[in-house]
Structure 1
């Protein structure tokens, strides 16, 4: 095949069966809005399950030791970081699949692959006997759910005109991101439902300061597998594919465009923050204000003791879903505003909001254990600060995906969406490394500096009057 990219209006080389004869969403007379919206809703359902599979480890890993495992704090951080590393690597693969495989095959196969890690986690929580390396492999396989984002989003963008892509991609990404809070919210309830445990017996979960609890932790994983089978069936029977012509070499021409690199930085600021915090939020909360802080809790199992009189150790599961929920809803809610006002102005607001909310949160990263009152005040500052960070990252997630289709032509826009999403998916991995090696305070201060850089780029390149690429 030629290494020269075909023009945007080049005739399709594939047709028939799953492949559409032609597709021009900018032509209102021929655009099939029914097919476009059907594609959006089916792929969004499957993408939500992708995020469930990707972040299922984040709901399980903080409880592994309570179920009988004996991993160190650093081992748990690395395990929670592994899905992010995998997702970043796999997104580089998935970003080139839409033109090669088409929407139908890609979405169907991906949804079936989610079952691998989901089934594995369900099996391995039933008894604390799995070696560390095996759980790390399962954590890596969970990254398939994160990798899918770089294929699903570009393929959906092919179906909608530019004037609607902010809304369409915001709906898909926003509702897809809800899979994060969905799995974290439902897990505490699912593990208590004995009637769902059609496979395996119960486990005893020991949490400091509370009586041992009988749970069926496999439910947190197994309940999603039937939905994954339904999603794959819907994708195979109801989706079609847009005949975009581009081989792998042609798709890499995006790297010669400076805006690819600028938008990569901006999406790291937004989605990298969202995904990184989503994966590590529970562990960070536990290690600062809960069972992982030796200045607050001493001992394990029946011998645990709360060292600060009057302090109630927070139940991580009661709070951890809130941040991802706020971030996902913000992406969904602000997407129509980006279509109306442009994406650059909201990316600017996102960056400024992130600087302010991170700075406000930093004092709470060093808990004051002198009294229950100071600990409670610190915890509330930490919680509200984190929710604010999630809010502004969600706004930026919506706005950057509006900018990309405006800056690049259709085929390149799909590739840039996939590439930027791939790099930002390393968020959980780098957040885990940063918190473990640098400590939360230093890592958050670096986050402020990076957000300031992104604010400058947004203003100079995209948002100011007379900007080179207004978007």
Structure 2
């Protein structure tokens, strides 16, 4: 290792993994989670800033939904270049830079967060906050390279779950500020996060590594972009991660707008769903490791449709307790589905390698190559689902004054996700070549373990 660069890395070699690979991978995972965690907090910054925006700010609910939708969109789009930055600059180097970049939206929000600031200024700063959404893509791509296939579900689930917890944590910090200093002190939230951003960058510099074997492969990107499974998984990820991030941004505003909660009352509830959804994400990955991601994902979408039906009924009846039960269940299920869908990605491309007749390290390398290339695209499209959720809420409240119509559209979408998961990954077995002689490969049918 020279200059924090590791020249040789083979996690599929069990001897290498046991002797030193696992220790190094786990260390990088810990500090990757820290940076990604703060990135998520900054990405969702305006979901809590809008709770501080009382009547004196002159922004109606539709305007607030558009602010958080802007941050969602930028965070989704920036995931694509962030995915390729890891191989270009090194995972450690990019983590340092991307962490320090969070100082820009944090500092800008600190400067403008007061009554009298123009709406366009808030819109521009909300767009800046979107850079925090990119940290997920680079972190997941980096950690994907560190771990062997058999550990990816657990590692990616833990990495993503630890990052996702950044959402409820900033909501808890805001609850603490509102409860102690009042809703007129939003800058206190930034005063807490700016030093944490610096700490994350310093820890990345001290404790993380770059992997020299990880290179950008434009051919892999083109191949992944042409593969139908990349876009099918992106569609399913809209249903899981898009739901998680969209609901995380919107929950507090929905409680304020539809149920008349005060900023303190809303803040005291909003963190619960994102917290549970974040904590359970590694469980989704672990279940997928054991039972297959497609099976877990299918059952998860069925449960999400059921929970949405509960939310619709509660919205119509204006029952806050039942609404909270259904909405929090949606958070839990979206977190579970995040873990299971992401585990499916390396499994799908590993199966494609076997279908092409590859074996051993050749198949492993192909699976890593294509899954790594596809993750940035899938993550970006999935995050755009959060934009769709916030725009659906905005339109629903503009036209009807409630979020019921938006939830009906979400129910229909989960039904389609259920059908797609079953039809593509569970309805029929796939053909996987099995070596029967040194010079002969005979196709046999087997269920894809994705």
TM-score, scaled to structure 2: 0.86
Give per-residue Cα distances to partners, 1:104-153, cap 9 Å, x unaligned: 1111100001111112222323x312111111111111111112211110
SS in 2 for 1:22: coil
* Partner Cα separation in structure 2 for residue 453 and residue 431 of structure 1: 16
Aligned to 2:280: 330
* Partner Cα separation in structure 2 for residue 248 and residue 61 of structure 1: 41
Aligned to 1:423: 381
- Between Structure 1 and Structure 2, which shows a larger proportion of helix residues? 2
Aligned to 2:246: 276
Q: Is the 8 A contact 2:6 2:210 kept in 1?
A: yes
Aligned to 1:455: 418
Q: Is the 8 A contact 1:58 1:279 kept in 2?
A: yes
Q: Is the 8 A contact 1:338 1:402 kept in 2?
A: yes
Aligned to 1:288: 258
* Aligned-residue offset at 1:281: 0.7
SS in 2 for 1:470: coil
Q: Is the 8 A contact 1:78 1:432 kept in 2?
A: yes
* Partner Cα separation in structure 2 for residue 411 and residue 455 of structure 1: 28
* Partner Cα separation in structure 1 for residue 427 and residue 387 of structure 2: 34
* Partner Cα separation in structure 2 for residue 153 and residue 18 of structure 1: 19
**Equivalent of residue 389 in structure 1, options 327, 330, 344:** 330
Is it true that 1:38 corresponds to 2:24 in the alignment?
Answer: no
**Equivalent of residue 70 in structure 2, options 77, 82, 87:** 82
| Residue segments in structure 2 that go unaligned for 5+ positions in a row | 350-366, 398-402, 432-447
Aligned to 1:251: 221
Give per-residue Cα distances to partners, 1:23-64, cap 9 Å, x unaligned: 111001123111100010000011100111111110111321
Give per-residue Cα distances to partners, 1:379-417, cap 9 Å, x unaligned: 111111101111111110010111111112102111222
Aligned to 1:60: 49
* Partner Cα separation in structure 1 for residue 372 and residue 82 of structure 2: 11
* Partner Cα separation in structure 1 for residue 198 and residue 36 of structure 2: 13
Give the number of aligned pairs.
Answer: 408
1:59-458 to 2 correspondences below 5 Å? 59-65=48-54, 68-125=56-113, 127-191=114-178, 205=183, 215-242=184-211, 243-248=213-218, 250-290=220-260, 315-366=265-316, 375=318, 378-408=319-349, 409-439=367-397, 440-458=403-421
Q: What is the Cα-based RMSD across aligned positions, in Å?
A: 2.0
TM-score, scaled to structure 1: 0.82
SS in 1 for 2:7: coil
* Partner Cα separation in structure 2 for residue 450 and residue 235 of structure 1: 39
* Aligned-residue offset at 1:241: 1.7
| Residue segments in structure 1 that go unaligned for 5+ positions in a row | 1-14, 195-203, 206-214, 293-312, 369-374
* Aligned-residue offset at 1:463: 3.2
